[in-house]
Amino acid sequence: MKHTLLLASLFAAAGAAQAQSATYAIDPTHTQVFFEAKHFGVSTNRGRWVQKEGTVTLDKAAKTGKVDLTIDMASVSTGIGPFDGHLKSKDFFAVEQHPTAKFVGEQFTFNGDKVVSVAGTLTMLGKANPVTLTASSFGCYENPRLKREVCGGDFETTIQRSQWGMTYGLPGIPDSVRLLIQVEAIKQ
Please give the single-letter amino acid code of residue 60. K
pLDDT classification of 145: cutoffs 50, 70, 90: very high
Determine the 3-state secondary structure of 30 from DSSP.
helix
Q: Residue 39: how many CA atoms within 13 Å on its side-chain side?
A: 8
The string of pLDDT tens digits covering residues 100-144 is 999 999 999 999 989 999 999 999 999 999 999 999 999 999 999
Q: What is the pLDDT of residue 172?
A: 87
Distance, CA of 44 to CA of 57 (rounded, Å): 34
Computed over every residue of the chain, the mean pLDDT equals 91
pLDDT band, very low/low/confident/very high, at 5 (cuts 50, 70, 90): very low
Q: Would you report the helix, strand and coil content of the chain in percent, each value rounded to 5?
A: 20, 55, 25
- pLDDT tens profile 45-78: 999 999 999 999 999 999 999 999 999 999 999 9
| pLDDT confidence of residue 13 | 43
